[in-house]
Structure 1
Amino acid sequence: MTDDVTVHEGITYAERETGELKLDLYLPHSDDPPLVVYVHGGGWIAETRSNIPDPEQYAADWDCAIASVSYRLQEAPDGAAVEAMYDPGNPTPRGHFPDHFVDVKAAIRWLRAHADEYDYDASQIAAWGASAGGHLALLAAVVDDVTDLGDAFADEVEQTVAPDESGAVQAVVSWYGAADFTLVEDDVEGLIPLLMGGSRSEHPERYAQASPVTHVTSESPPVLLMHGREDEVVDVAHSHRFFDALEAAGVDGVFYELHDLNHVWVEDVEDIESERVAMDLLAADPTHAQSVSEATHAEEGGSLAPLLADLPPAGPEAIQQFLDRTIR
């Protein structure tokens, strides 16, 4: 426990055949703070819930409870093209997509069910994720719960954790998240074909239904997107397509496109470390060249209310303003 934040580590929220799934909870010392659920990156196959930008600092600065959640990581068969990313020492249980999504939704429902126990407000929840976690956060935002993912996955999803609670979220922050799996070239090896169980031509419905962009409707929650224009891991076209879908559906969104920056806010992909330092990289150079697009809509008879009043640079202040506007 710090002076400003109480930390609960290793809370079990689900038990799967391959092991327990846990979350860490960071609680500011305030009455009923809103909740942010963080979904880590790592290509759906690597890293742990500790891969999060300083949660104690931002729980205090933003006056939000933050839950960083584990989810089943992708199993990689021997000889898979992504074997180099597979860490046999990673203690996180493993499975196959859509297990990752099923677990994120289970964590959201569990967090709603235990809000009174830990004294945070779970009526309005924001999901925040980076890279693969950005994909899962976006998917959690535009798909109400796992049973709505689509026919291609109907036999692979089940609500076993707090099934009477809502799995919906009311806002989402995506850092360089994969939003449209149909952008993947056909008949190539890699992480997404591994997730989908084959190529795009073999499983077109799985690729489409696993893509957040497919599920955007006028009922989708507001979105804050941040993406590097030079991203060599998740092409910035993913965020462009998602933002265009928001505009077409009449959903509020803000899209920061950071010039010259690669994945995890570095200039050279060889310099990527982890998400733990990503916010520091953004905050270190708030004047970095960036383009900002806004989609702001008003209900009939209402007035426009932008998500970010003065469009601060991409970084912690922009996220705080977005959270204040959407879940507080």
Structure 2
Amino acid sequence: MVDITIHEGITYAERETGEMKLDLYVPESETPPLVVYIHGGGWIAETRANIPDPERYAAEWDCAIASVSYRLQAVPARADIEEMHDPANPTPRGTFPDHFVDVKAGIRWLRANADAYGYDAERIAAWGSSAGGHLALLAGVVDDVTDLGEAFTDEVEKTVVPEEAGTVQAVISWYGVADLTLTDDAEGIIPVLMGGPQSEHPNRYAQASPVTHVTSQSPPTLLLHGREDEVVDVEHSRRFFDTMDDAGVNAIRYELHDLNHVWAETVEDIASERVAMDLLVADPNHAQSVYEATHVEKGQSPDPLLADLPPAGPETIRQFLDRTIK
């Protein structure tokens, strides 16, 4: 097993509401690529500790892994979402697009400090789950926070190593939110995130949706989603995949039959992302369907994102990273 050097609680940004921090796990190999993990929790809950065994997978994949905190959504006193709010959570809070601004700041900081910690600044993948999947997808298709759109122009400011690029070369999304316009809800977390219902803020909903920003230059993406997801409908990953395909970008989508959010069997069984990979490993033969979009230039040979379509799990991610950032 490769030795891993762990750096915990690194401050990458100072915000009015507190310090933004990240944890970094670096294998002792020659300049490995970097995976930036963005945790889930409905944009309002959990911390950067909500990550599947980063020390283990940094070693197995021979990639540095950084788990990045981002400002969580400030929560109004509303019964429909208040139960998700943990007052003891020390993570600073803000309002969208602060979450995205922080993720991009973390990526820029990590790129600027690659030599100091021993990973490759030019080979970076974003990996996120649920709300973190939304932020990872957005980080992939929006090169710079200032490109998010006119609905957010006045709320975006680059203060952390602004000269560095915030781009990533690959994206992994676990049951991520890809299209906020799919919801017409007047209550719940998304109207809180967007400052009101879609009927009042259509541009905010569209511009905060990763699917809106896909172009032919978007990075290759691996999508994994449960067909029975009651928290983030599988239609999010389907729509994002189709948009990538239409744009001529390579993508691959796994749909896990009969599984809910965070690979649970029912919504009542949903647990932390810390154990999500373990659930996949425990049942690698769970029924699943795989969809590939592999685009070939005239005169070239196909170069699929996965070598042999392994069951959804750590081997899937390892092969995807091998093909995209190694």
- Give the TM-score of the pair, scaled to structure 2: 0.99
Q: Could you say which residue in structure 1 is the equivalent of 2:203?
A: 205
Which residue, 220, 228, 241 being the options, matches 2:239? 241
Q: Secondary structure at the match of 1:78?
A: coil
Where do residues 188-203 of structure 1 align in structure 2 (5 Å cutoff)?
A: 188-203=186-201
Shift of 1:298: 1.5
Per the alignment, residue 272 of structure 1 pairs with 270
Correspondence for 1:65: 64
Alignment of 1:316-327 (within 5 A): 316-327=314-325
- Alignment-derived partner of residue 302 in structure 1: 300
1:140 matched to 2:165? The reply is: no
Q: Counterpart in 1 of 2:182?
A: 183
Instruction: Name 1:315's counterpart in structure 2.
Output: 313
If the length of structure 1 is used for normalisation, what is the TM-score?
0.98
Aligned residue for 2:290? 292
Q: Quick one: which amino acid aligns to residue 47 of structure 2? A: T
Match of 2:130 in 1: 131
Using the TM superposition, give the Cα deviation of residue 122 of structure 1 relative to its aligned residue in structure 2, in angstroms. 1.4
Secondary structure of the 2:140 match is: helix
* Map of 1:16 onto structure 2: 15
Q: Is 2:2–2:59's contact at 8 Å kept on the other side of the alignment?
A: no
Answering whether residue 229 of structure 2 is matched by residue 231 of structure 1, we say yes
CA–CA distance in 2 between the matches of 1:249 and 1:237?
18
- Tell me, in whole angstroms, the C-alpha distance in 2 between the residues paired with 1:292 and 1:28: 31
- How many Å apart are 1:96 and its aligned residue? 0.1
In structure 2, the partner of 1:160 is 159
Does the 8 A contact of 2:2 with 2:27 survive in 1?
Answer: no
Shift in Å at residue 3 of structure 1? 6.8
| C-alpha separation in 1, matches of 2:309 and 2:181 | 31
The CA distance in 2 between the partners of 1:280 and 1:122, in whole Å, is 29
Once the two structures are TM-superposed, the CA of residue 124 in structure 1 deviates from its matched residue by 1.4
Task: Tell me by how many angstroms 1:309 deviates.
Answer: 1.3
State how far apart, in whole Å, the 2-side matches of 1:250 and 1:183 are. 23
Deviates more, 1:81-90 or 1:312-321: 81-90
Among all aligned residue pairs of Structure 1 and Structure 2, give the percentage whose two residues are the same amino acid: 77
Runs of 4+ in 1 over 3 A off after TM superposition: none
CA drift of 1:300 comes to 3.4
Q: What SS class does the counterpart of residue 106 from structure 1 fall into?
A: helix
Q: Secondary structure at the match of 2:158?
A: coil
Question: What is the rounded CA distance, in whole Å, between the counterparts of 1:57 and 1:275 in structure 2?
Answer: 15
Shift of 1:302: 1.8
Cα deviation digits, residues 257-290 of structure 1 (max 9, x gap):
0000000001011111100000000011111000
Q: Equivalents in 2 of 1:165, 1:12: separation in Å?
A: 17
Equivalent-residue separation in structure 1 for 2:302 and 2:76 (angstroms)? 51
Shift of 1:81: 2.4
Show structure 1 runs of 5+ residues with no match. Answer: none
1:6 equivalent in alignment to 2:9:
no
C-alpha distance in structure 2 between counterparts of 1:243 and 1:262, whole Å:
19
Find the aligned partners of 2:68 and 2:100 in 1 and give their Cα distance: 12
Deviation of the 1:299 alpha carbon: 2.5
For residue 224 of structure 1, report the CA deviation from its aligned partner: 0.2
Deviations 1:186-234 (A, max 9, x none): 4x20111000000001000000000000000100000000000000000
Separation in 2, partners of 1:148, 1:85 = 31
Q: Name the residue aligned to 1:79.
A: 78
Shift of 1:100: 0.1
CA distance in 2, matches of 1:84, 1:138: 27
Aligned CA-pair RMSD? 0.9
